[in-house]
Amino acid sequence: EEGEDEDDGVQQAAAPAPRAPPAARSGSSKLPLTIALAARLKQLDGPLVVISSALAHATEPSRLQFRVLTTAEDAEPLVSQLKARLSKQAPSRELDIAAVDFDPWNPRVEKLLGGKSSSRKELFDGLNFAAFYLHEVL
């Protein structure tokens, strides 16, 4: 029987069906869509690929705002290089890229890093854990 547990014969209520997503609004939505990334300047190719792909496939690229969590030292050169390399794909007026200084969170994150869970030391970079702090950072 539907909804009956075979082990004990107890009838269980079926979970409600998920609600349908709201219908698409006609016209352009003005709400921005924030895409958060974490990278250092030496990791420029990662955010470059993500941003390029998002811009190429977005219905409304002007809604996209990219926030790159990085160090204070890398913030300006990282954003400058991203904008320069992406300028052919998106006019600068549409390209909303900004750096977010993750340095204030690093002392807290570094207390949690280490141990012997991996021999790959590059995995213990504080920026690898930035996603867990997005609710505070952005």
Three-point CA angle 37, 42, 45, nearest 5°: 60
Most confident range, picked from 36-40, 110-114, 116-120: 36-40
* Residue 13: predicted pLDDT: 67
Rounded CA gap, 19 and 43, in Å? 40
pLDDT tens digit sequence for 42-80: 999 999 999 999 999 999 988 999 999 999 999 999 999
- 24 vs 59: which has the higher pLDDT: 59
Q: Which range among 64-68, 74-78, 86-90, 115-119 shows the weakest confidence by mean pLDDT?
A: 115-119
| pTM across the whole model | 0.71
42-71 core/surface letters (b: 16 or more CB in 10 A; e: else): ebbeebeeebeeebeeeeebbbbebbbbbb
The answer to whether 33 touches 39, Cβ cutoff 8 Å, is no
